Amino acid sequence: MDLIQYKMPELVAQAQAGDEQCAGEIFDRYRQAIYRFFTYRVGSREDAEDLTQTTFLEMVMSLHRYRPQPNASFSSWLFRIARHRLIDYYRRKKTTVQLDGLSATDHPTLQNEMSEPVVDTRIQIIRAQMRRLPEKYQTILQLTLVEDLSLHEVAIIMEISDLHARVLKHRALKKIKGLMPDNSIMYDPL
């Protein structure tokens, strides 16, 4: 069976029916995005890997309860699981969150799977300032700017209204702009 031909709804339906190969394909399709989500937010590569594994384990165990929602992708549901695992991690660790991402070269088994992002000085400054933001601002900025999810999808992930997501993004961008050393960051206010 050629899984590449499956579109996500069919792949999910097959995985829900117990097809382990389809569940593995879902893992392969989202592994990098979920791992990246965690590396931006936790202080160690090992924790990011553990959280990624925990997220996919929960996905497999909860897949039978997944129901597609209008105007929301499967990734919204998966990122919601990831966000809940991240919140649990924060509660357990109660440490300062480091947002400086880890490179794939830090972990030999991920070198071929994860590509090193090109990060210019401005991005590094923004990442450093993001550490100073509340968790909800960090989440909305990462999901909209890094993962390129729509505000509607982010609202579903964060379990808030679309309007609240829009307001949070605006406030987060305004806050990050105010934190910039030369106050010169340019952004599209929405």
Tens place of pLDDT for every residue, the chain, 190 residues?
445 556 888 999 999 999 999 999 999 999 999 999 998 888 789 999 999 999 999 999 999 999 888 777 899 999 999 999 998 998 887 644 444 444 444 444 444 444 444 445 666 677 777 778 888 998 898 888 888 888 998 998 998 999 999 999 999 888 888 877 665 444 444 4
The span from the CA of 144 to the CA of 146, in Å, is 6
DSSP 91-158: HHH--PPP-SPPPGGGSGGGTTTSPPPP--HHHHHHHHHHTTS-HHHHHHHIIIIIS---HHHHHHHH
Return the CATH fold of 3-179: Rna Polymerase Sigma Factor; Chain: A (1.10.1740)
Contact 32, 114 (CB under 8 A): yes
| Beta-carbon contacts of residue 63 (< 8 Å; ≥ 6 apart) | 12, 15, 16, 23
Structural domain boundaries in the chain = 3-179
pLDDT at 178: 81
Q: Kindly state the tokens that stand for 164.
A: 């609240």
- 138, amino acid identity: Q
Tokens 């991920």 found at: 110
